[in-house]
Amino acid sequence: MSFFLTYIVPFVIALGLLILVHELGHYLVARWYGVKVLRFSVGFGKPLLKYQGKGETEWVLAAFPLGGYVKMLGESDDEVEEHESHRAFSRQPVGRRFAIVLAGPVFNLLLAVVLYWGVFVGDNKEVRPLIAPTEMEATLAREAGVREGDLVLSVDDDEIRSLRDLQEVLVRRAIDRSEVRLLVRTSSGDDAVRILNLRDFSIDDIRKKDRNADLILHMGLRQASIPTLIEYVEEGGAAARSGMVSGDEIVAIDGKQVNFTHEVAETIHATPGQTRTFTVRRGGEELTFAVTVGAKQEKDGKEVGIIGVRFDKSFLRVTVSYGPVDALARAVRQTWEISALTLKSIGLMVRGELSPKNISGPIEIANIAGETAKHGIGTFVRFLALISISLGILNLLPIPVLDGGHLLYYAAEFIKGGALSSRVVEVGQIIGLIFLFMLMAFALYNDVNHLIF
Q: State the catalytic residues.
A: 23
* DSSP 8-state code for residue 301: S
Say how far apart CA 82 and CA 57 lie, in whole Å: 20
> Residue 418, class by beta-carbon neighbours within 10 Å (0-12 exposed, 13-18 middle, 19+ buried)?
exposed
Say how far apart CA 128 and CA 185 lie, in whole Å: 12
Q: How many residues does the chain have?
A: 453
DSSP string, 45-76: EEEEEEE-TTSSPEEEEEEEEEEEEEEETTSS
Say how far apart CA 327 and CA 113 lie, in whole Å: 10
Say how far apart CA 109 and CA 139 lie, in whole Å: 37
Say how far apart CA 144 and CA 138 lie, in whole Å: 11
Contact 276, 293 (CB under 8 A): yes
DSSP string, 138-184: S-HHHHHT--TTEEEEEETTEE--SHHHHHHHHHHHHHHT-EEEEEE
* DSSP 8-state code for residue 89: G
Q: Which residues contact 3 (CB under 8 A, 6 or more apart)?
A: none
Contact 39, 60 (CB under 8 A): yes
378 phi/psi in degrees, rounded to 5: -60, -45
In the chain, the amino acid numbered 378 is: G
375, 379, 384, 386: CA torsion to nearest 10: -130
